[in-house]
């Protein structure tokens, strides 16, 4: 009898630890995640061209991309897979140089988790970043 009480007590403890605040209690690696990304063109007169989605961001404009899907790894503001932002090949159009900083979440500013697994990120294209960009592959 004591073994069955101990077994049920451990089972109850295991399930109660997953009751609140656990996004992946079943351990299947599914984290429903949302993100809003603001790509701001703060250059004086460069057009930022997004080649995969065929969009342009004029100087002074903002492109907003949303992500609403399941990730296999729990993301954070400092460890978010930028590869899921499907429109992520950006170049300074007339110079044909690419902005590789968009592939590293550390180069995004205003990284916020506004709710559990709901994020906001901002990437700003600037004249300084343009000067450091390199010819696209």
pLDDT at 68 over 90: yes
Are 33 and 67 within 8 A, CB to CB? yes
Q: Using CA atoms, how far apart are residues 125 and 20, in angstroms rounded to an integer?
A: 40
| Residues 81-85, mean pLDDT to the nearest whole number | 89
The structural domains of the chain, with segments of one domain joined by +, span 31-135
2-52: per-residue pLDDT in tens? 554 444 444 444 444 444 455 555 556 789 999 999 999 999 988 898 777
Rounded to two decimals, what is the model's pTM?
0.76
């Amino acid at each position: 009898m004591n073994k069955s009480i101990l077994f049920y007590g451990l089972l109850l403890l295991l399930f109660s630890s997953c009751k609140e605040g656990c996004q992946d209690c079943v351990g299947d690696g599914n984290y429903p995640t949302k993100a809003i990304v603001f790509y701001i063109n703060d250059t004086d007169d460069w057009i930022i061209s997004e080649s995969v989605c065929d969009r342009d961001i004029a100087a002074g404009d903002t492109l907003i991309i949303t992500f609403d899907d399941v990730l296999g790894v729990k993301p954070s503001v400092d460890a978010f897979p930028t590869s899921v932002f499907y429109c992520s090949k950006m170049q300074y159009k007339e110079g044909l140089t690419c902005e590789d900083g968009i592939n590293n979440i550390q180069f995004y500013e205003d990284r916020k988790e506004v709710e559990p697994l709901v994020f906001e990120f901002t990437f700003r294209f600037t004249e300084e970043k343009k000067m450091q960009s390199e010819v696209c592959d």
